[in-house]
A and B are shown apart, each in its own frame.
Chain A
Amino acid sequence: MNKNNKIVDIVCVALVGAIFGGTALWNIVQPNRPTISESEKRMLATMPEFSLSSLADGSYFAGISSFISDTFIGREQLVGLSKKLDTLTGVDYSVDGEENFVLLNPVSEKREEEDTDAISAAFEALLNGGAQQNEPEKGPENPAPGTPETDPIVLPEVPEDEPEENAPETPEEPEDRPEEPDEHAEPEDKSDEGKSEEPEEPEGSEGSEEPETPDTLENRDEEKGDKEKEPASEADPEKEPESEETEAPEPEGPAVTALQLSRDKMTLTVGSGSVLYATVNAEVGGEDVTVRWTNSNKEAVAISLNPNGGIDVKGLAPGTAILACAYGKDFRETCEVTVTEIEIEVPDYDENMTADFLPDGLFIYGDAVYTQASYSETNSRYYAQTAAYYQKLFGCRVNVIVAPVSSMVIQNPNVTSKIADQGEILDKMAALYDPAVNFVNAYSKLWEHKKDYLFFRTDHHWTQRGAYYAYAAWAESVDLEPTPLEDFEFAIHQEDYQGSMYNWTLNEKVKEFHDSVEVFYPTKKNTMTVTDKNGKTWQFNSCINSNSGYLCFISGDHPYTVINVPENPQDKNALVMKDSFGNAFVPFLCEHYGNIIVVDARHTTMNVYNQLKDYGITDIFFVNNIQAANTYGWAKRYMERVGQYLP
């Protein structure tokens, strides 16, 4: 009997030993250990370096433990099995007996205390005092002197329908003359003028002005976007005797007395564009004057006639080009165009880098995962003050678009009574904004369409359809006609998209929901140039590409992106500071702007003011989700991008 028992015992020991001992031995000797986890998007632990200090503080041993557990045999499958085991702990709670409700990740993140007194004081000083820069950075490089000019007779590629330029007269604005000399001066000297506010700017930045002056060429310095004289919009067909001091050769000849270009230096980044105008002063009796444009470096710069009598200039590749404008033999002016790669400084990997969304209080309700928002008056005020500062600094219009998050569309009072009302939050936020800033509240437009597919079910983002309503709300706020949704070319990129929610909650239930990625292509042709975190430039022939999921919108988050829409006036430029919610919004700006510059403040430390102050930004957009607009982190980041380092 006992002997049999003993045999049974030994067999059982051997069995267990084989299974677990075998696993153990394999884990110890395993030759090819994996190094990356695809599903976790991180590097797996490796055998730590030995050192006496790492031994003494315990990190060497902890490293070995991590190493073994990260490279455990069959880890991927076991993790999947473990997640399935998780679902066995209970059942879903149902609201009204119908819709399932499951709270996910309800524990708040520990957020660091901020020194609100110091921060508020800093903002006060900046907004009420002068706007100074903490760290003047070197601006765009000056082009090398002595660039050879080519034969001025060579014509650029010119659209057949508009062979000639007309420059019949100059505007009559003797009273504005005192201001003009400043504008004809070097663009770079304008740095102090950029800081004064111009109430008329909003009109000046709009493209609507240009249709009013089809025949006249304005000597407007568009790049500043600030110093705008009264729009000399009188389309005066008569030629008027106007003489003005110019830097051109002394007025001579019967008809043309002087030729001036709107600028003589221009800096563009790859993929962005601008405009150049020539003003011809003629005496009475001159006929239509035509000028000729030439481009010395067709690889760096492309020019084309624009409908308003100037040329659209686009930067293609780094380099310098001399654009020459000639009239007859006597008059010739040049503009030096430098095309640079934007200086991207990528910050070191920051472990504390906040997401653009905190997985706080996520819940499943019905057939989707929802996200909540909360309100902080202090932080919202900081964000509002940041927008006001940008407005003061750049001097152009600043638009703030705050994207609500998905729980706004829930109607069931059992649920809505437990979560914050985003409509109320947005109203409170709006009250904090300086009247000079255009705060766009998209809540009511989104609420009107709450039954539409406005937010993803498995991702924290809004869909492009949701972003459309924010665009429509913005357009109405600036008296623009939003392009109707039906006018966009519609496509479904992906039928079975799973977004961020699974990775954030690790909850198997989330996998039951599905998303499709609906896409609305801009009505106008556009090209996009993306500078990635390595400084490499990528060209796309649309701002919506074939990347998977939400990444198709402007190709995801990158330090610096330029979208160029040739059909729109090249001097209407938007600067967009955004988090990832902005990605779905930006394509709609292609309806109105010639150049859209998108900067993701998390991925670059470039100073947008220093690098873009001469660009001619006519509108600045802040597009963040409602949580981000309620955190100090984003306000702080945006301020850093204009050289202000707050506590």
Chain B
Amino acid sequence: MVFSHLFFLYVFLALLFLAYFAIRNNAWRRGVLVAFSLLFYAWGEPVCVFLMIGLVAADYLFGRLISATRVESRRKLWLVCAIVSNLGVLGFYKYLGFFIETLNTIFNVSIPTVSVTMPIGISFFTFQTMSYVIDVYREDAKVQKSYIRLLLYVSFFPQLIAGPIVRYKDIEAQLESRTVSAADFNEGLFRFSRGLAKKVLIADNCAKVIDSLYGLQEATLLGRWAGAVFFTLQLYFDFSGYSDMAIGLGRMFGFRFLENFNYPLISTSATDFWRRWHMSLGTFFRDYVYIPLGGNRHDQQRNILVVWFLTGLWHGASWNFILWGLYYAVLLMIEKATLLDWFKRIPRIPSKILGHIYTVFITVFGFAIFYFDKNLFRSLGYLFGIGISGLTDLFTSSILADNLFLLAAAIFFAIPVFPYLWKRWGEKIPYTAQRILKTAVVILFVGASTVRLVGNSYSPFLYFRF
């Protein structure tokens, strides 16, 4: 099941809210959440849901085992077992085919490739389960004696499929009991509706434009760059939209999740970008890989390369993703070495402007690497003018003209205009007015998204027999 589906919005959520808020007992409430979350996952993965349940059971066991002993070697043993099983599951389902292909190419052998369908969200929940065990080992969190609570932490549907990667210790207490005030519910709803609009109204439309542009027979310079820009926007609105929906839904049930995106497209450098984009992944790798390896204390270059190799690899089982990760590793190293200092030395406003321009360029170019898992170098060549038929042509101009407002709106909403306005004026108006405004936005966004979703289900029998 996916958030941007009519079934989710108008059946699943309705029934869930009814069930949850009709019950007062915390244990029962947890049960309801777990049950619905498992159903949510099973909807898309009727078989692999058991894999997830099993993995949580294994990590539950390892957590108990770790906390049950004081012998360091034993504790380490259980930790290693947990990490191996989590990464093993992830590696098998996500990376096995890629691994075999790579071996075949490097060593010129012909191991038969296996094709395994990857269960959705596996990259997210394996990381969550690992974070739990590691935190228990480090004694940053108390062991969870209730399997159901642990299962709730991992399988809770808002963040299960597309993040944010929630750390166990951040919500440890919330698993026990939560309070949901009407204000919480409204705020959660407000957040959710914004995420829904981002996904349905902007991201999905951007996706169509990319298909149009990249589907043309001839590549034009403008067409190719515009495609890369639209892809950057699509990825941002899609991903941050999902995070908004996750955070909003969590809030409606009394959970407070950490932010995952902070307007990354206004960053002034790659370093700044990674503090705003997919922040939960960045902090995960920082806390569990970068710092244990030594961080910026020793072997910083090596540490950066390792972390970014893994970041790229995490995003997908293909060499272009790894290349994308390493691309950022190099940029970050250059920035740390010289560029950031240079930016500091020039006056503030030009520095900011230059920083923005520079960052937009590297981000868009980086996402072009991210997009093309096939024909990567030919596609990148187009961006540099190699193999294009001209600056623009009739078809490209027509597609862009047809999506001009969409582009403007997307760029507008990628800039924190409304947060700024809200801070300046919104917070000064009476609470009633604030709430009414927000509620109006909720109704508008959910209504418009519903209209769009219904429209998407329109699929006429195209091939008329006449």
> Do A and B bind?
yes
In the complex the two chains form, is A72's CB within 8 Å of B461's CB? no
The yes or no answer to B342 lying at the interface (CB within 8 A) is no
In the complex the two chains form, is A354's CB within 8 Å of B463's CB? yes
Q: Give which listed residue, A83, A359, A551, contacts B466 with CB less than 8 A.
A: A551
In the complex the two chains form, is B435's CB within 8 Å of A41's CB? no
In the complex the two chains form, is B442's CB within 8 Å of A16's CB? yes
In the complex the two chains form, is B395's CB within 8 Å of A106's CB? yes
Report A1-49 residues with CB < 8 Å from chain B CB: 4-6, 8-10, 12-13, 15-16, 19-21, 23-25, 27-28, 37, 39-42
In the complex the two chains form, is B9's CB within 8 Å of A24's CB? yes
Q: Give which listed residue, B14, B44, B394, B455, contacts A82 with CB less than 8 A.
A: B455
Complex CA distance for A78 and B10, rounded to whole angstroms? 15
The yes or no answer to A128 lying at the interface (CB within 8 A) is no
The yes or no answer to B140 lying at the interface (CB within 8 A) is no
In the complex the two chains form, is B11's CB within 8 Å of A89's CB? no
Stretch touching chain B among A52-60, A568-576, A623-631:
A52-60
Q: Which A residues are in CB contact (< 8 Å) with B413?
A: none
Stretch touching chain A among B23-31, B65-73, B358-366, B403-411:
B403-411
In the complex the two chains form, is A89's CB within 8 Å of B402's CB? yes
Complex CA distance for A75 and B10, rounded to whole angstroms? 14
In the complex the two chains form, is A503's CB within 8 Å of B460's CB? yes
In the complex the two chains form, is A90's CB within 8 Å of B401's CB? yes
The yes or no answer to A81 lying at the interface (CB within 8 A) is yes
Q: Residue on A with the closest CB to B216?
A: A106
The yes or no answer to A491 lying at the interface (CB within 8 A) is no
Complex CA distance for A70 and B17, rounded to whole angstroms? 24
The yes or no answer to B393 lying at the interface (CB within 8 A) is yes
Stretch touching chain B among A91-99, A163-171, A282-290, A401-409:
A91-99
Contact string against A for B residues 365-397, beta-carbon threshold 8 Å, 1 for contact and 0 otherwise: 000000000000000000000000000011101
Q: Which A residues are in CB contact (< 8 Å) with B212?
A: 103, 106-107
Q: Which B residues are in CB contact (< 8 Å) with A86?
A: 455
Interface of B is mostly: helix
In the complex the two chains form, is B435's CB within 8 Å of A12's CB? yes
Complex CA distance for A70 and B443, rounded to whole angstroms? 22
In this complex, the member of A25, A28, A106 whose beta carbon has the largest number of chain B beta carbons within 10 angstroms is: A106
The yes or no answer to B5 lying at the interface (CB within 8 A) is yes
Q: Which A residues are in CB contact (< 8 Å) with B15?
A: 28
The yes or no answer to A632 lying at the interface (CB within 8 A) is no
Q: How far is the CB of A627 from chain B (nearest CB, A)?
A: 13
Q: Which A residues are in CB contact (< 8 Å) with B403?
A: 89-90
The yes or no answer to A375 lying at the interface (CB within 8 A) is no
Complex CA distance for A179 and B374, rounded to whole angstroms? 68
The yes or no answer to B348 lying at the interface (CB within 8 A) is no
Q: Which B residues are in CB contact (< 8 Å) with A42?
A: 459-461
Q: Give which listed residue, B181, B438, B464, contacts A41 with CB less than 8 A.
A: B464
Complex CA distance for A102 and B403, rounded to whole angstroms? 11
Q: Give which listed residue, B1, B10, B17, B407, contacts A23 with CB less than 8 A.
A: B10
Q: A4-B432, A363-B398 are in contact. List 12 more A-B contacts (CB 8 A).
A: A5-B435, A16-B442, A20-B14, A28-B14, A55-B46, A88-B405, A89-B405, A93-B401, A103-B212, A103-B394, A106-B215, A503-B460
- Nearest first, the 9 closest Cβ-Cβ pairs linking A and B are A82-B455, A24-B14, A9-B182, A107-B215, A93-B401, A355-B463, A78-B454, A40-B460, A90-B404
Binding site for A on B (CB under 8 A): 1, 5-7, 9-11, 13-15, 17, 42-47, 181-183, 185-186, 189, 205, 211-212, 215-216, 393-395, 397-407, 431-432, 435-436, 438-439, 442-443, 446, 448, 450-466
Q: List 29 contacting pairs A-B, 8 Å CB cutoff, sorted by A.
A: A5-B431, A12-B182, A16-B189, A20-B10, A20-B14, A24-B10, A27-B11, A28-B10, A41-B460, A42-B460, A61-B1, A61-B42, A61-B46, A65-B43, A78-B454, A90-B407, A91-B401, A92-B401, A101-B398, A106-B215, A106-B399, A107-B212, A355-B464, A359-B462, A363-B398, A418-B393, A503-B460, A580-B466, A602-B465
